[in-house]
Amino acid sequence: MNEKASFINALGTAVPANEIPQAQIAHFMAEALGMDERDQRRLTALYRQTRIDQRHSVLPDYNKRRGEYTFYPNTEGLEPFPTVGQRMLLYRQEAVPLALQAIDDCLDSYPDFDRQRITHVITVSCTGLYAPGPDIEIIEAMGLPGTTQRLAINFMGCYGAFNGLKAADAIVRSTPGAVVLVVCVELCTLHFQKKTDLDNLLSNALFSDGASAVLVEGTPRPDQSMRLRSFYCDLLPAGKADMAWHVTDFGFEMTLTSEVPTVIQQGIGQLLSRLLEQSGLTIGDIGTYAMHPGGRRILEVIEKQLGLETADNRYAYQVLRQYGNMSSATVLFVLKAIWQDMLTTKTGTDEAQHILSCAFGPGLTLESMILEAHFTPVQEEIAQIGIETVTV
């Protein structure tokens, strides 16, 4: 194994307590947008087509009826509509507690790990900004020394986790003894926009809240780890106007057009060919896929372009169905599902398994990476500890 390598040695995730069925969110949106019966039926059909069962939000309002709201005004049309300032105040209140839940989930899964060994903290988010920011609050909450180095990666959208991992990889490779904690936290539901065009309806149907954390070190855990083998990034300028994220007077406004899957389909084949060539691998060497579930159609066009079966994307579909699209945090939910599955099914071999992962965002940006999963074969009795495997 190359001396200068980096490994994911622990993964954790967290979602807010408010779990809301997709059908209930559709009802909230229809009422908020003042839709007639015909448009309500169309909206309900759109929400069913997402293949999302429920989403999570720091706001309880999406699971309530008018008169019970605690964030949005209890008025027809939700007027006066919440401002950026009001939304950012809630982000400041909710983002770090959720991030700390993901960090605990991550580090609690790593027995005997000393949290004081962490040398760097990288935060990733595109749904809120303030300073002093979440990076400092996380360090204080964890009792880490003030000398802990910090990096904030902001406003990069759904592929932000890849930039966090690339930064962690570079730090670990260049700094002996570095231990990097990467934390993604996204509160997408703070940015509901009261517009009825198809692009906004689609965005409101997909996005949700969540946080994830990974620990990256220069040496692997003896029993389980994922080596960060290689990364590759490309831009598709033809899709620049189809996916965007802008600050407006009433929150951050997402542009996500129906053309995004088509643009991704045109570029995904070349992107992955170059990634594989750079890694000295072929598509036949890939055993598992960890695609960012940006939406059902995105997953389907990837399958068509790469000749994959739906089962190859089973982890992405599972995360999409259970949680929706949590922007940068989402792909780490997918990797955690793979990690848990490998814990219960890896038997009889010590060979590494290659995992191919992709995510997409404004630009239109395509990010990709290959990981090597190393899991020590487990005994049958250990495999029966109750961790649920992922199925479609």
- Which residue numbers are catalytic? 158
Q: Specify the 3-state DSSP secondary structure of 389.
A: coil
- Give the strand pairing for 179-187 and 286-291: unpaired
Residue 195: phi, psi to the nearest 5? -130, 150
127 in Cβ contact with 252 (< 8 Å): yes
296 in Cβ contact with 259 (< 8 Å): no
CA dist., res. 315 & res. 358, Å (int): 13
Considering only CA atoms, give the Rg of the chain: 21
Beta-bridge partner residues of 181: 121, 215
Q: Is the dihedral of CA 272, 273, 276, 278 positive or negative?
A: negative
Amino acid at 205: A
66 in Cβ contact with 74 (< 8 Å): yes
373 in Cβ contact with 345 (< 8 Å): no
For the CA atoms of 305, 311, 313, 316, the dihedral, rounded to the nearest 10 degrees, stands at 150
Distance of CA 370 to the CA centre of its chain: 17
Beta-bridge partner residues of 11: 214
